[in-house]
Amino acid sequence: MSQSRSLSWLTVPTPLPSGPMHVAVTPLGVASAGYLEHLDELPRCTDESKIAAVTGRMADYLAGRRRELGLPIDWSLSSGPHRAVLQTLWRDVPYGRTITYGELAARSGVFEDVAEPGLAARTVGQMMAANPVALLVPCHRVVAADGIGGFGGGRVGIEVKRWLLTLEGVLEPTLDWNGPL
C-alpha cells in the first residue's frame, strides 16, 4: 500500500484564529497538517496512541508548555527543491526565531543559479504556502524583509501567523491576545 493511501486524519482543537487543525498521519509520522482543510469524507485515524501523541503535543505547544512538537514527519508529500527548502527551515530556524524568504532561499542552496532579483524569495513564499506540514515545519517563521509577509488562508492566515509569532515571543502581545502568558 502506498503512503498516500495509508493517510488517516484527525482533528486537533486549537486556540488559533483558524480553529481546529486537521492532521494526516501515516506509519512514518505526520504527513499533512493544515489550518483550513475539511475532512468530511476522508479516512479517520483510529490509532489512539497517534491521536494522543498528536493532540497532546500540539496542545502543549500552543499553550506555551513545549517549544518543539517532537512528532515524526512523513516527508512524502513534498519532493525535490520544495522538500529541500522545507527541511532547511525545519532544521535551521528554531522556536522564537524568524528568517526572511530570501535568507531561506539562500540557506537552502536550491536557488544558486537564479539571477533574477527577488525570484528566489518569491518562490520560497509559494513553497511556504504549499507546505503540507504546517506548524511542524514552521512556515510561520518565514517573514518578508520588510514585515511579517503573507500566510495561506487570507486574513485568517495572517492572524494565525501573527498568533504563532506572538506565542513564540517574536511579536509583542496586543490587547486582543488570547494565548498563554
How far apart, in Å, do the first and last CA atoms of the chain sit? 45
Q: What percentage of the chain's residues is helix, strand, coil (to nearest 5)?
A: 40, 15, 45
Whether the per-residue pLDDT at 160 is higher than 60: the answer is yes
Q: Is-catalytic flag, 45?
A: no
Q: How confident is the model at residue 107 (pLDDT cuts 50, 70, 90)?
A: very high
Tell me the three cell numbers of residue 35: 489550518
Catalytic residue among 89, 139, 142, 143: 139
Calculate mean pLDDT across residues 132-136.
96
Determine the pLDDT at residue 42: 84
Query: pLDDT tens across 108-130, in order?
Result: 999 999 999 899 999 999 999 99
Least confident of 46-50, 76-80, 137-141, 177-181: 177-181
Contacts of 20-28 with CB under 8 Å at 24 or more apart are 21/58, 21/134, 21/135, 23/54, 23/58, 25/50, 25/54, 25/74, 26/74, 26/76, 28/3, 28/72, 28/74, 28/76
Q: Which domains does the chain show, CATH number per domain? A: 3-62 (no CATH), 78-167 (1.10.10.10)
pTM of the model: 0.92
Determine the pLDDT at residue 36: 67
Strand, coil or helix: 100: strand
Q: How confident is the model at residue 5 (pLDDT cuts 50, 70, 90)?
A: low
Calculate mean pLDDT across residues 17-36.
93
